[in-house]
Amino acid sequence: MRKLILLIPFLISTLYAKPINLEDSIEMALQKNKEMQAEEYNLKSASWSKYNAFANFLPRVTFNSTIVRIDNETYDQATEMYQLQVLGPTGIPTGDFIPFSASAMGSGIYQTSYTNKLTIQQPIFNGGKVILGYQLAALSKNQAQLALENKELDIAYTIASTYLNYLKLEEIQKLTGKSLASSSSHLKKAKAKFETGTVTKSDVLQWQLKLNNDKTSNFEVENNLNEIKSYWKNLLGSVEDELSPAKIEIESYNDEIEVYAGMTEEQITQEKQMFLQKVKTTSPALNSIDLVNKMMKKKLGLEQGSFLPSVNLQFDYQLESDDKLNFSGEDNWNLVAAVSVPLFSSGSRYSKVKQAKYDLMKTRKQSEYTRENYLIAAANVFTRMITKAKLIMDNKTALELAKENQKVINNLYEQGMVTNSELLDAETMKFSSELNLISSYYDYILTKYEIKKYMSSMEE
């Protein structure tokens, strides 16, 4: 009864499971996966950074408004009237006086004054910093685009890995279930024969041990299935409990497997070179490496530009300056052309140029090393796919022989012509051969998805 209660949730989840195929699960992950969403936000941020860099070419317009209030004491002193003597032609006072106040000078003094001014600034040349800054921002956007594409390939491969490993474990679970049933059947037979005295106690214990091992293996596979499914659903960004990986007809790959397994060394070399050529031209990772070199070169140009003069224009137009905020006061304008020529900075500019130069050289060497390793890894994946194809063909042959051997040994055991240990060995050999064949199929399919990781998502 307790076993039935434990089995009910499993049966319910199986009946109401929504199978989703591999391509659909990859598509769902690309839309809902949190890492993908983060990379998309990173691309949007880089796009706005490029817009910001372009804005440095455009004029800056600002409106400035100020209100100045003079304290009473200062204002009274400024507006106080003084009597100035009038001097004659000979410099002798005439006895006449002229009233005078400091506020009468210029445009007058107001206790409260309002000034409104419009300023337009236009950069003309700043040692190439504006142009190179925009080019760097454009390269950063391209780099973010490549990072997004590379993340798509990584997510697709990770989804394929968890998806296929789940299906492989399901197949292994079926095999362990069959092995468990077989061990239980043989144990019953061994116990019956032991009671009649035709087998020893050791034979019974061997089958009991195998049965216990099969139960443990089955329990372990079940736990691994639950772990992988949880991880797979998290990658999808889904909270639907009923989602489940759909089955794959692994036999549909037989034709291409036979083609790859039958290739000569010359054909393998040609196919590998064609694959590597696609990797060189379409791989987001390699294109990103090239971008890093370009960006470091632009940064060197920025430092070199610090030796060049800068030219900027500024136009100021004063709308008013009086004691009332009515935009009808005194107006005036001025235009300033500012030229700045760097002469000496204690060698700091020179040292920064040298530092940027060696940073560029370091980046180039690191990029060459990374590129070489990347291409070696890509070539190894292709070779591994060929190896997996050949391994499938070998495992098929091994399984056929193991089945025939198990059949023969079982007949001989029924006739009492072989020992219990030989029957156990035959059962184990058959189980191992079935397990190896299933594993090699799914490993081959996964390797095909790993190959896709080395090429652009636009490349099939």
Edge-to-edge order in the sheet of strand 310-322: 60-69, 112-126, 310-322, 332-340
Give whichever of 32-36, 99-103, 192-196 has the largest mean pLDDT.
32-36
Per-residue pLDDT band at 19 (split at 50, 70, 90): confident
Helix (H, G, I), strand (E, B) or coil at 19: strand
Structural contact between residues 316 and 122, judged by C-beta atoms closer than 8 angstroms:
no
Give the integer Cα–Cα distance in Å for 212 and 179: 11
Which helix (H) or strand (E) is 332 found in, with range?
Answer: strand 332-340
Largest CA distance in the chain: 158
Q: Which segments of 346-443 are extended strands (E)? A: none
When comparing pLDDT for 104 and 338, which is higher?
338
| The pLDDT value given to residue 78 | 67
For the chain, report the end-to-end CA distance as a whole number of angstroms: 53
Token pair for residue 386? 């060929």
pLDDT digits (tens, 9 = 90+) for 341-361: 888 888 888 999 999 999 999
Q: pLDDT tens, 311-336? A: 999 999 888 777 777 777 677 889 99
Q: What is the average pLDDT across 23-44?
A: 90
Mean pLDDT of the chain: 86
In the numeric block, which tokens belong to residue 408? 């023969």
Average pLDDT score over residue span 63-87: 75
Output the CA torsion 292→33→456→142 (10° steps): -30
What the block records as the tokens of 360 is: 């560029």
Residue type, 357: K
What is the average pLDDT across 120-144? 91
Residues in CB range of 224: below 8 A, 6 or more apart: 169
User: What pLDDT, on a 0 to 100 scale, did the predictor assign at position 151?
Assistant: 92
Sign of CA dihedral 42, 48, 49, 54: positive
Are 61 and 80 in contact by the 8 Å Cβ rule? The answer is no
C-alpha span between 207 and 187 (Å, rounded): 5
> Any idea which residue has 């012509």 for tokens?
417
Alpha carbon distances (Å) from 339 to 132, 302, 314, 346: 20, 19, 11, 21
Strands 112-126 and 310-322: antiparallel
C-alpha to C-alpha distance for 26 and 160, rounded to whole angstroms: 8
- The token pair at 148 is 């997004």
CB neighbour list of residue 331: distance below 8 Å, 6 or more residues apart: 317, 318, 319, 320
**Per-residue model confidence as pLDDT tens digits over 147-182:** 999 999 999 999 999 999 999 999 988 888 888 888
Extract the tokens encoding 349: 């500019």
**What average pLDDT does the segment 264-293 reach?**
93
pLDDT tens digits, one per residue of 368-399: 999 999 999 999 999 999 999 999 999 999 99
| pLDDT over 90 (residue 196) | no
CA distance 333 to 317: 4
Q: Are 326 and 113 in contact (CB under 8 A)?
A: no
* Whether pLDDT at 198 is above 60: yes
The angle at the Cα of 155, spanning 150 to 159, to the nearest 5 degrees, equals 150
Answer yes or no: are the C-beta atoms of 413 and 423 closer than 8 Å. Answer: yes
pLDDT score recorded for residue 456: 75
Q: Which position has the higher pLDDT, 175 or 76?
A: 175
pLDDT at 9: 46
Identify the residue whose tokens are 């909270």. 239
Among 438, 406, 445, residue whose Cα is nearest residue 422 = 406
Sign of the four-CA dihedral 245, 246, 250, 256 = negative
pLDDT digits (tens, 9 = 90+) for 280-307: 999 999 999 999 999 999 999 989 988 8
Percent of the chain with pLDDT over 90: 48
Closest listed residue to residue 329, CA positions, set 320, 340, 317, 342: 320
Whether the predicted pLDDT of 86 surpasses 70: no
On the question of pLDDT at 11 being above 80, the answer is no
**How confident is the model over 202-261, as pLDDT tens digits?**
888 888 898 898 898 888 988 999 999 888 988 888 766 678 899 999 999 999 999 999
- Give the contacts of 201 (CB within 8 A, at least 6 positions apart): 194
